């Protein structure tokens, strides 16, 4: 189906959407500081202990944007430590008041600590620091804190506390902090490589409002001063940045989805005046679930349920409680990122942010330098959703249409150990490189098994890009190592040079790394596959001669005819 030119993006809109999902102000730095290393390195103050649970007890003072409370961090020792020091992160202007340590064998004792920027180096009592690895006791660090969190200026791209009013002038409050870090609002081990195995939130606010959180609602406690504590809990591992409260005048409706693992609670929390719109627009949620369970396997958090929550910003993949702010319209704020028309058939935020439940929340990268695993696969989930509901040609058109948004400014994979992501091309270039892999595998059922296999093998785990790359090569029985190096670690797009001379057709790759040999589907006499390298190869055109040539449009590369 063809669409009119009215779907072509304006230059201004194209510029604005380049940052879709850049949840934080992580500038493209060239020189990194000591603070960057403290934030991003998984060093000796982090690697000897493993977080088991966060239990947050936090009061929100909506009149002055201040918060206070504590995080009780349950952990276990997984390595030996000579210093007995562990790192807790909390971003200024928030302040730690005190820290208590205790275990099943030791009464609570106060810890001393020193400050290194936004990191607090906590000195665990000597007796605890020398515990044997054979010891399995649970240990606890309770961190008391207060202050006014950083306010987000342009959420979700600029992270922090979001203080808004809804149309009826009621408070509407939440947080977005991917990349920037959860330590912008609570003390934690702020590194993606260590997720708590479970978490609880007990958020105290005025009882005229409601607080929605991750996982299942455990109830509320009323206090004489007109406040109430709203209690939520997740029983699955969760990213630090996904633990988020939503505070507002919320109402609720739900449905039960019969999924691959049985009945799934799908709950929708919206502002009162959005209820009827939500009942119509959120029908895309069950369509999303059906498509993604087909391609990726079961929804990874059945026990915690699935939620869409009205948010005062565009959206974010908060595990089991996806932030929704797309204005109850299809596309991305009513526009089609692919400029093909297919992107107006569904709600971008419902599809994209929910896709992160599989890639970002189920499978999480240890370092945000590898964040293409989150964003590239989730970008491609948009294509797979379109493919599932509207056919393969529609999906192909959608992913090809997004190529105009690729910048090739810096490599997709960023520098490690400094909390720095790579290029925003992790979205559109990431989606297109997965589309190429699908073409090369040339078997949709096999490709689907790879996607489902990733979500099964790395279920609730943290990974590196290398692990994902190697898994795809292993399961496809195709060596994609040079392919990944080319598209993830350089900004160079391969060029297929070709020449037709009489009855011969010659071709080779240029602008590529050494050893790059991507198989290529071409239209030449008939549809066929070739295996170009950096060396010239020749096909015979005899006896026809003057045969037209083109590369299959599902491959993202350039072509150049030479004499």
DSSP for 233-280 reads EE-S---GGG---EEESEEEEEEEEEETTEEEEEEEEEEGGGHHHHHH
In terms of domains, do 340 and 216 share one?
A: no
Would you put residue 297 in left (φ > 0), alpha (ψ -120 to 50) or beta?
left
Please provide the DSSP assignment of 334-388 as one string. TB-TTSSSGGGSSBHHHHHHHHTTTBTTTEEESSGGGTHHHHHHHHHHHHHHHHH
Is 427 a domain residue?
yes
What CATH number has the domain bearing residue 173? Answer: 2.60.40.1730
Is 416 a domain residue?
yes
In terms of domains, do 184 and 204 share one?
A: yes
Is 457 a domain residue?
yes
Angstrom distance (rounded) from CA 51 to CA 66: 27
In terms of domains, do 423 and 512 share one?
A: no
| pLDDT confidence of residue 129 | 52
Residue 280, token pair as written in the block: 């119509």
Strand pairing partners for 85?
A: 123
Domain tally for the chain? Answer: 3
Angstrom distance (rounded) from CA 463 to CA 467: 6
Give yes or no for a contact between 350 and 282, defined as CB atoms under 8 angstroms apart: yes
Local structure of residue 49 (DSSP, 8 states):
E
In terms of domains, do 306 and 361 share one?
A: no
In terms of domains, do 539 and 397 share one?
A: no
Q: Does residue 120 have a cis peptide bond before it, meaning omega lies within 30 degrees of 0?
A: no
| pLDDT confidence of residue 23 | 41
Is 365 a domain residue?
yes
Domain boundary among 444, 463, 489: 489
Closest C-alpha among 113, 106, 107, 116 to residue 144: 113
Instruction: Say which residue the tokens 């270039």 belong to.
Output: 429
What CATH number has the domain bearing residue 383? Answer: 1.10.390.10
| pLDDT confidence of residue 136 | 61
Domain boundary among 489, 521, 553: 489
For residue 343, how far is the Cα from the chain centroid?
Answer: 20
Is 36 a domain residue?
no
What CATH number has the domain bearing residue 539? Answer: 2.60.40
Measured at the alpha carbon of residue 9, what is the angle toward residues 6 and 14, in degrees to the nearest 5? Answer: 170
Angstrom distance (rounded) from CA 496 to CA 562: 10
In terms of domains, do 305 and 406 share one?
A: no
Angstrom distance (rounded) from CA 347 to CA 330: 4
Closest C-alpha among 34, 271, 294 to residue 165: 271
Angstrom distance (rounded) from CA 295 to CA 284: 16
In terms of domains, do 157 and 13 share one?
A: no
The whole domain housing 520 covers 495-561
For the chain, the straight-line distance linking the first and the last C-alpha, in angstroms and rounded, comes to 37
In terms of domains, do 333 and 415 share one?
A: yes
Is 294 a domain residue?
no
Closest C-alpha among 69, 94, 52, 64 to residue 229: 69
pLDDT per residue as tens, the chain (563 positions): 332 333 334 433 443 444 444 444 344 556 999 999 999 999 999 999 999 999 999 999 999 999 999 999 999 999 988 888 999 999 999 999 999 999 877 789 999 999 999 999 999 886 555 554 455 678 999 999 999 999 999 999 999 999 999 999 999 999 999 999 999 999 999 999 999 999 999 999 999 999 999 999 999 999 999 999 999 999 999 999 999 999 999 999 999 999 999 999 999 999 999 999 999 999 999 999 999 999 999 999 999 999 999 999 999 999 999 999 999 999 999 999 999 999 999 999 999 999 999 999 999 999 999 999 999 999 999 999 999 999 999 999 999 999 999 999 999 999 999 999 999 999 999 999 999 999 999 999 999 999 999 999 999 999 999 999 999 999 999 999 999 999 999 999 999 999 988 888 999 999 999 999 999 999 988 899 999 999 999 998 877 766 788 999 999 999 999 98
Is 296 a domain residue?
no
Domain boundary among 465, 489, 513: 489
Is 289 a domain residue?
no
Angstrom distance (rounded) from CA 349 to CA 366: 25
Element (H, E) at 475: helix 465-476
Residues 6+ apart with CB under 8 A from 109: 100, 101, 102, 125
In terms of domains, do 385 and 244 share one?
A: no
In terms of domains, do 484 and 501 share one?
A: no
Angstrom distance (rounded) from CA 349 to CA 156: 13
In terms of domains, do 219 and 167 share one?
A: yes
Q: Return the sign of the alpha-carbon dihedral for residues 533, 538, 541, 545.
A: positive
The two counts, helices (H) then strands (E), for the chain are: 12, 29
Angle between helices 392-401 and 372-390 (to 10 degrees): 140
In terms of domains, do 409 and 267 share one?
A: no
| pLDDT confidence of residue 18 | 43
């Amino acid at each position: 189906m063809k669409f009119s030119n009215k779907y072509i993006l304006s230059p201004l809109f194209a510029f604005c959407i380049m940052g879709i999902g850049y949840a934080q102000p992580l500038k493209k730095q060239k020189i990194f500081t000591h603070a960057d290393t403290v934030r991003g390195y998984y060093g000796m103050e982090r690697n000897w202990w493993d977080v088991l649970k966060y239990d947050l007890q936090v009061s929100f003072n909506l009149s002055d944007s201040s918060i206070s409370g504590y995080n009780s961090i349950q952990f276990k020792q997984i390595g030996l430590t000579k210093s007995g020091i562990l790192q807790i992160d909390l971003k200024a202007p928030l302040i730690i008041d005190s820290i208590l340590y205790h275990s099943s064998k030791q009464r609570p004792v106060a810890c001393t600590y020193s400050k290194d920027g936004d990191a607090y180096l906590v000195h665990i009592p000597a007796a605890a620091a020398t515990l044997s690895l054979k010891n399995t006791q649970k240990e606890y660090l309770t961190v008391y804190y207060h202050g006014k969190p950083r306010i987000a200026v342009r959420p979700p791209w600029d992270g922090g506390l979001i203080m808004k009013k809804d149309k009826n002038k009621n408070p509407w409050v939440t947080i977005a902090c991917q990349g920037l870090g959860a330590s912008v609002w609570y003390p934690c081990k702020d590194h993606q490589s260590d997720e708590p195995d479970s978490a609880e939130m007990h958020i105290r606010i005025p009882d005229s409002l409601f607080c929605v959180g991750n996982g299942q609602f455990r109830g509320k406690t009323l206090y004489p001063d007109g406040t109430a504590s709203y209690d939520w809990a997740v029983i699955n591992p969760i990213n630090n940045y996904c633990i988020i409260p939503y505070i507002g005048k919320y109402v609720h409706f739900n449905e039960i989805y019969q999924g691959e693992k049985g009945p799934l609670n799908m709950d929708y929390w919206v502002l009162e005046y959005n209820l009827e719109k939500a009942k119509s627009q959120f029908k895309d949620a069950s369509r999303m679930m059906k498509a993604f369970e087909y391609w990726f396997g079961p929804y990874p958090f059945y026990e915690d349920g699935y939620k869409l929550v009205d948010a005062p910003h565009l959206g974010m993949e908060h595990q089991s409680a996806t932030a929704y702010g797309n204005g109850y319209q299809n596309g991305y704020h009513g526009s089609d990122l692919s400029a093909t028309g297919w992107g107006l058939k569904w709600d971008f935020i419902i599809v994209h942010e929910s896709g992160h439940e599989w890639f970002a929340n189920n499978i999480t990268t240890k370092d945000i330098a590898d964040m293409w695993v989150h964003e590239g696969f989730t970008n491609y989930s948009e294509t797979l959703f379109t493919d599932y509901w509207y056919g393969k040609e529609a999906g192909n058109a959608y992913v090809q249409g997004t190529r105009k948004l690729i910048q090739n400014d810096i490599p997709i994979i960023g520098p490690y150990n400094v909390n720095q992501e790579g290029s925003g091309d992790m979205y559109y270039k990431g989606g297109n490189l997965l589309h190429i892999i699908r073409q090369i595998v040339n078997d949709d059922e096999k490709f689907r098994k790879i996607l489902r296999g990733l979500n099964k093998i790395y279920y609730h785990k943290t990974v590196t890009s290398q692990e994902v790359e190697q898994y795809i090569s292993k399961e496809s029985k195709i060596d994609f190592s040079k392919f990944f190096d080319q598209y993830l670690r350089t900004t160079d797009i391969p060029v297929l040079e070709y020449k037709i001379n009489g009855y011969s057709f010659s071709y080779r790759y240029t602008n590529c790394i050494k050893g790059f040999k991507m198989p290529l589907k071409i239209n030449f006499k008939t549809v066929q596959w070739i295996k170009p390298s950096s060396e010239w190869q020749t096909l015979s055109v005899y006896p026809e001669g003057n045969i037209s040539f083109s590369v299959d449009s599902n491959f993202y590369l350039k072509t150049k005819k030479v004499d």
